[in-house]
Amino acid sequence: MELMNLKLFLENHQMMDENERLRQKALLLHQENQNLLSEMKKKQLELSREH
């Protein structure tokens, strides 16, 4: 029983580490997406002012 608990504890710890890594990656991707969207809107505004 203790061995099973240890295995589950370690597996849970690995999952939490992976979750944190993925959360950080998702945050970076969200920030990159926001930056790209901002650039796109800026260029679109510049183009609309030229016409």
Give 17-48 as a DSSP string: HHHHHHHHHHHHHHHHHHHHHHHHHHHHHHHH
For range 41-46, the mean pLDDT = 96
9-34 pLDDT tens trace: 999 999 999 999 999 999 999 999 99
> What's residue 32's pLDDT?
98
pLDDT score, position 50? 87
Per-residue pLDDT band for 36 (boundaries 50, 70, 90) equals very high
**pTM of structure:** 0.76
